[in-house]
Structure 1
Amino acid sequence: MTKSVSVKELVDNTHLNVFWGKEYLDRPITTSDISRPGLELTGYFDYYPSERIQLLGITETSFAKHLPEKELTADMTKMCQPDTPAFVISTDIEPPIELVKACKNAHIPILESKLNTSRVLSNMTDFLEAKLAPRKSIHGVLVEVYGLGVLITGDSGIGKSETALELVKRGHRLIADDRVEVYQQDEQALIGTAPKILSHLLEIRGIGIIDVMTLFGAGAVRSETKVDLIVHLDIWNKDTKYDRLGTEKDSVQIFDVDVKKINIPVKPGRNLAIIIETAAMNFRANSMGYNALDVFDNQLNTLIKDNGSRDTKELKKGDN
């Protein structure tokens, strides 16, 4: 089934005003691509993307003013196809009369904005890409720790929600519990959000479902965040070798984005909230070019070199 967004949702989320056609705002938008119909005003319709939002700015409307009325009427009528969601006029420009007549006949709404064309284009594209992008549901908990989106995964009952609760108490923010909806924003960024029915809610075994925003305030929650790091909780196994120096480079590919993953063994007595805080801070430090393992290696090499020099001097003294 093709995903779609209504024109009304676009109006409500991108600061657009309805010039005409309030009763037709239920028309569906099925693509995030926006068309600027310049060639169409010259009569070229061989590749007209009629399913897109049609955006007219200063360039298009200025050109339209110089066209004969009959020719402009014909072009505007051709642009008003059954699958055309809406026309948007930027920069507070008065829509051409011919366009208004054609839209009224085809029941296509006309939207307007005081913003310039580039700004309107950017706002609409960002909103539509977020709404229409393919989504994946991941079992886990998403929290924002020191500004970084940390996705906590692991087997059911291992303590993901309890760890998230402790992180919230320590001043961090909850995005989603149990189910995280993830979509790709661009080539390098994944965005995680909560299903609407689970927004702000956290399930704690023995207590039940709690509303984090009600108990801890609006500052304890956030609607969405970028997924920067995956922390996977594993039940401690004495026969398993765990990374002790940070040399392992594990990652998970979600859509086209590789997200760094670290595995944390879980056993009684370990404070997972503090460990995840530290993991987030260490990830940020690594992103800024600092690596504690490199520092350790340099210090170790220096120590070996110094000890080697000292041993050499003592051997020379012994020979003398």
Structure 2
Amino acid sequence: MADKVFTVLDLLDMELPEHSQLHLRCIGGRMSLSNVIAAPEINRPGLALTGFYDSFTRGCVQLFGSAESAYLKKLYDENNTQSLAKMFEYSIPCLIFSRDLTPPDNFVILAESSGCAILKTELDINEFSLRLMRVFANVFAPKKTLHGVLVEVYGIGILLTGHSGVGKSECALELVERGHRLVADDIVEIHCVNGNSILGQGANKLISHHMEIRGLGIINIAQMYGVGSIREQKEIQLVIRLEEWDNSKVYDRVGNNLETLDFLGVRVPTIEIPVKPGRNLPIIIEAAAMNERLKARGYNSARDFNQNILKWIETGEVQNAYYGMDDSY
């Protein structure tokens, strides 16, 4: 469920990329644009137009295609509209007509008097349904905010976490300098899509591509490095936790220990990188991104290393090497 209510007006005012535009406009019931869309569903009210309401879906968008529009016009031509008023007893936020179809004037009046907004789109019903469901998947997806920096490195979305002052922003700045992209700094909003993917973006689009560098202040990454250095959102495929080097702690040196973090029910791989003077963190993160791409293609460096070690032991060469050592040292 969305963190806040989502209204018909919000749907009309959404800023979407061209390939996802809904091309909606209001043709009636403007006073009802504040109606809340309570469910991420689309209903085609074909059976409802015939008077069958036993399984009618309330609280969601009602979508009229060519068939529904033709049947609606037929009902008015035959003066057989007794069942239409019942439709608006089910808390309908809005009606949407596809293919620039226009409903009968009497139907618009009925909808307006019932407090229902009427919209239309130039898209055909199949294309519009696909785009609207993508919008709903984003709007109604579970969300939360995290403290960290989200970057894209070699196509892999990496969330950098760690306590304040560990160097997350400075590391991200070096990655941008090396040609990678910044998604969000400091506050990252994540949401779950399709139950198996975590998308991250800036919690505030106006400031998400600004970065705070201690001693320097606030810088605008897009202005300094160009629009190619930023991205609006990215799937989080790897979490890298930066922490101060602890000499008493044993860090993973092979990479066999697969750790994950739970984000909204989705497990995301995570690795821990200790920070100390002299370590080139951007190069390490680049290597982690490339290693993650290899894993996605079915190759695991740590597993391959272990298998090669086992093969070497099985051949007996390790015994010969051991027993052949010179003890004079």
TM-score after normalising by structure 2? 0.86
Q: Does 1:189 align with 2:197?
A: yes
Aligned to 2:215: 206
Aligned to 1:257: 266
Write out per-residue CA displacement over residues 12-37 of structure 1, whole angstroms, 9 at most, x where no aligned residue.
Answer: 44222333345543333232112211
Write out per-residue CA displacement over residues 94-132 of structure 1, whole angstroms, 9 at most, x where no aligned residue.
Answer: 324443232232343222223222221121121123123
Q: Does 1:19 align with 2:27?
A: yes
Aligned to 1:10: 11
Which structure dedicates a bigger proportion of its chain to helix?
A: 1
Q: Does 1:105 align with 2:106?
A: no
Q: Distance in 2 between matches of 1:70 and 1:83?
A: 27
Residue of structure 1 aligned with 2:128, choices 117, 120, 126: 120
Write out per-residue CA displacement over residues 12-69 of structure 1, whole angstroms, 9 at most, x where no aligned residue.
Answer: 4422233334554333323211221122112122443331111111332344344465
Letter in 1 for 2:8: V
- Indicate the SS of the match to 2:83: helix
- Indicate the SS of the match to 2:101: coil
Aligned to 2:238: 229
Q: Distance in 2 between matches of 1:156 and 1:2?
A: 27
Output the aligned Cα RMSD: 2.6
Letter in 1 for 2:160: I
Write out per-residue CA displacement over residues 135-157 of structure 1, whole angstroms, 9 at most, x where no aligned residue.
Answer: 11111111111122111111111
Q: Distance in 1 between matches of 2:319 and 2:163?
A: 53
Residue of structure 2 aligned with 1:275, choices 279, 284, 288: 284
Give the superposition deviation at 1:262: 0.7
Give the superposition deviation at 1:185: 1.1
Asked if the contact 1:10/1:124 (under 8 Å) is kept, the reply is no
Q: Distance in 1 between matches of 2:90 and 2:309?
A: 71
Letter in 1 for 2:220: D
Which stretch shifts more, 178-187 or 29-38? 29-38
How many pairs were matched up? Answer: 314
Asked if the contact 2:312/2:318 (under 8 Å) is kept, the reply is no
Letter in 1 for 2:103: P
Aligned to 1:317: none
Asked if the contact 1:175/1:224 (under 8 Å) is kept, the reply is yes
Asked if the contact 1:146/1:172 (under 8 Å) is kept, the reply is yes
Letter in 1 for 2:288: A
Aligned to 1:318: none
Q: Distance in 2 between matches of 1:66 and 1:194?
A: 50
Letter in 2 for 1:108: C
- Indicate the SS of the match to 1:18: strand
Q: Distance in 1 between matches of 2:201 and 2:56?
A: 35
Give the superposition deviation at 1:219: 1.2
Which stretch shifts more, 33-42 or 99-108? 99-108
Letter in 2 for 1:6: T
Q: Distance in 2 between matches of 1:306 and 1:257?
A: 42
Which stretch shifts more, 73-82 or 273-282? 73-82
Q: Distance in 2 between matches of 1:72 and 1:112?
A: 24
Q: Distance in 1 between matches of 2:230 and 2:210?
A: 10
Asked if the contact 1:73/1:98 (under 8 Å) is kept, the reply is no
Asked if the contact 1:168/1:174 (under 8 Å) is kept, the reply is yes
Residue of structure 1 aligned with 2:313, choices 279, 304, 308: 304
- Unaligned residue ranges in structure 2 (runs of 5+): 15-21, 324-329
Residue of structure 1 aligned with 2:98, choices 78, 90, 98: 90
Write out per-residue CA displacement over residues 244-276 of structure 1, whole angstroms, 9 at most, x where no aligned residue.
Answer: 111011001111211111111111111111111
- Indicate the SS of the match to 1:28: coil
Asked if the contact 1:73/1:99 (under 8 Å) is kept, the reply is no
- Indicate the SS of the match to 2:269: strand
Asked if the contact 2:26/2:117 (under 8 Å) is kept, the reply is yes
Write out per-residue CA displacement over residues 190-238 of structure 1, whole angstroms, 9 at most, x where no aligned residue.
Answer: 1111122532111111111111111111111111111111111121111
- Unaligned residue ranges in structure 1 (runs of 5+): 315-320
Aligned to 2:326: none
Q: Distance in 2 between matches of 1:78 and 1:98?
A: 15
Asked if the contact 1:72/1:98 (under 8 Å) is kept, the reply is no
Give the superposition deviation at 1:304: 2.7
Letter in 2 for 1:261: T
Q: Does 1:243 align with 2:244?
A: no
- Indicate the SS of the match to 2:122: coil
- Indicate the SS of the match to 2:299: coil
Aligned to 1:29: 37
